A = this chain, B = another copy of it.
């Protein structure tokens, strides 16, 4: 695939990669606000307008960077899942959840970009399913989705019956779960969302410092939340996984 690219396209792709890489290094050192085109260009020995040959605007550059970051965290989650394959899907979800927190804490700025309040102008992008950020978000979501689906299919956890789900929620879950690669009860989709909310809430609060008022270190509380997730998903009896 790379061989089909002309020489020009290759050096261009390399430049694009270098821009995003430089952007990221500035993101981590200076924060999202210091992520300016001029700073990127300066670091690369260029001038700012040159970057417009590669990205139509700063916003598009950020979107591309977000896409890369989703891929990175997705890779990390999948790798963590692989390493825990011997513990089955529950162990893999546990490992992926820990990896998620670990990645978020090791890459706070990046986490902000992906999961914090959306940057100005990026809020209405969700409709464009073809931009790299949305694609990355999809892939990311499907990792947790696939794990929870496998957990349910291997060993069903308690879920609400379809008729116990509020009609509007049921309708929304129906149209959403229609995109799933495997068929899953609506209740399982609802439990999936609840679990994701809990995991997100825990990690986001810790990363954003909104937990410091109570806990200097949120790690042990994260363990509590993980156990609660295991309970919701019906594998608390096999918990915790020994070799960790």
Provide the residues of chain B in CB contact with A112, threshold 8 Å. 117
Q: Is the CB of A201 within 8 A of B212?
A: no
Interface of chain A, main secondary structure: helix
Provide the residues of chain B in CB contact with A123, threshold 8 Å. 209
Provide the residues of chain B in CB contact with A31, threshold 8 Å. 120
Does A33 belong to the interface (CB within 8 Å)? yes
| Interface pick from A70-78, A150-158, A219-227 | A219-227
Q: Is the CB of A166 within 8 A of B215?
A: no
How many identical chains are in the complex? 2
Q: Is the CB of B138 within 8 A of A213?
A: yes
Chain A: residues with Cβ within 8 Å of the partner, total of 50
Q: Is the CB of A117 within 8 A of B117?
A: yes
Does A141 belong to the interface (CB within 8 Å)? yes
Could you tell me which residues of chain A, from 32 to 89, have a CB within 8 Å of some CB in chain B? 32-34
Does A3 belong to the interface (CB within 8 Å)? no
Shortest distance between the CB of A23 and any CB in chain B (Å) = 16
Binding site for B on A (CB under 8 A): 31-34, 112, 115-118, 120, 123, 126, 137-138, 141, 166, 168-169, 172-173, 176, 189-190, 193-194, 197-202, 204-205, 208-217, 219-221, 223-225, 228
